[in-house]
């Protein structure tokens, strides 16, 4: 018996007796009892009650990949190789284990990451089945200069999807965060492999907070929020619409470049007109949007300057 079978059986948060679980999963009550000890490896807590059985302390909205696949548009379904695991170190690392299928985009979803990472080596909090964690891998035959702005493109795609889903006060923070009501709800990590003389392999990681609990987000060092605080949702349905939106946006980016996203980003830019500090170059200025390559435009004491890298923080009023 794989532990995933037990997790699925207990995911409703209701009590199930050892005999019931054993009959459902085709194993002995002893095997169930031993398997319960492994739930802690996924950060899952359960309780046992004499005469009732076992239940998880919180119900789980597990991803159903059949639902995801069935909800993809016909064109997107042909374009993706879709995979799902209970747990992995990092989807950005492990998605490469699934390459080789004849599809433009290889996508890996995980219920949990044990070493999820964000920009600048930060740890990405990834509690089990509380959010969406995925990575997309695809080849890029153009130059790296034409990849500039990709994280913004993905941010715009996610933000536009949330607006379509009925969320309000959605925005994008340069260069790779999506905000909801002034707090971070999603982050993006873009990584490249390859040589100048050949094509590039792009790995695009995305974490989207859907059901993050206070306990799951305790280590996050900035204000954050999650979608379920505002709208009820099913993760599998949202995952399908997210894949549809990402593939559509990436295809548009490959065909038309970043220029087709500048106006859409301007509408979503949460820092436009605000005084900020850009850490790295350590420059202060007022945000004036982005240029045709996705570089940040800052009005500084030296005039209008562009920056391709750095960490933004809002300057106190």
State the catalytic residues.
119, 184, 315
* Distance between CA atoms of residues 304 and 291, nearest Å: 11
Residues 6+ apart with CB under 8 A from 196: none
DSSP-derived secondary structure for 160-192 = HHHHHTT--SEEEETTTEEEETTEEEEEEEEEE
DSSP-derived secondary structure for 179-240 = EETTEEEEEEEEEEEE-TTS-EEEEEEEEEESS--TTTTTT--S-B--GGGTS---HHHHHH
- Contact between 174 and 310 (Cβ < 8 Å): no
The closest of 150, 145, 256, 159 to 205, measured between CA atoms, is: 150
* Distance between CA atoms of residues 281 and 295, nearest Å: 14
* Distance between CA atoms of residues 56 and 275, nearest Å: 47
CA pseudo-torsion sign 140, 249, 69, 75:
negative
Q: For residues 249, 233, 132 and 270, what is the CA-based torsion angle, rounded to 10 degrees?
A: 60
**3-state DSSP call for residue 3?**
helix
């Amino acid at each position: 018996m794989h532990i995933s079978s037990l997790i699925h059986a207990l995911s409703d948060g209701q009590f199930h007796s050892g005999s019931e679980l054993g009959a459902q999963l085709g194993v002995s009550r002893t095997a169930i009892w031993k398997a319960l000890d492994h739930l802690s490896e996924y950060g899952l807590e359960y309780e046992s009650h004499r005469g009732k059985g076992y239940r998880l302390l919180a119900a789980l909205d597990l991803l159903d990949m059949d639902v995801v696949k069935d909800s993809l548009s016909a064109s997107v379904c042909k374009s993706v190789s879709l995979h799902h695991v209970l747990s992995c170190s990092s989807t950005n690392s492990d998605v490469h284990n699934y390459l080789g299928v004849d599809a433009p985009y290889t996508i890996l979803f995980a219920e949990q990451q044990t070493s999820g990472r964000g920009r600048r080596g930060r740890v990405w909090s990834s509690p089990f089945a509380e959010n969406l964690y995925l990575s997309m891998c695809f080849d890029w035959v153009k130059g790296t200069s034409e990849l500039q702005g990709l994280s913004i493109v993905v941010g715009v795609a996610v933000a536009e999807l949330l607006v379509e889903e009925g969320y309000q006060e959605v925005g994008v923070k340069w260069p790779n965060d999506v905000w909801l009501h002034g707090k971070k709800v999603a982050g993006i990590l873009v990584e490249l492999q390859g040589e100048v003389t050949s094509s590039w392999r792009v790995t695009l990681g995305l974490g989207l907070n859907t059901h993050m609990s206070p306990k799951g987000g305790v280590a996050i060092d900035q204000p954050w929020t999650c979608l379920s605080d505002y709208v009820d949702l099913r993760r599998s349905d949202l995952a399908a619409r997210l894949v549809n939106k990402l593939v559509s946006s990436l295809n548009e980016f490959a065909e038309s470049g970043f220029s087709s996203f500048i106006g859409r980003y301007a509408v979503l830019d949460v820092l436009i007109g605000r005084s900020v500090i850009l850490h790295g170059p350590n420059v202060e200025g007022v945000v004036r949007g982005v240029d045709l390559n996705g570089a940040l435009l800052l009005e500084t004491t030296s005039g209008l300057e562009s920056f391709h890298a750095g960490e933004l923080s809002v300057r106190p009023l």
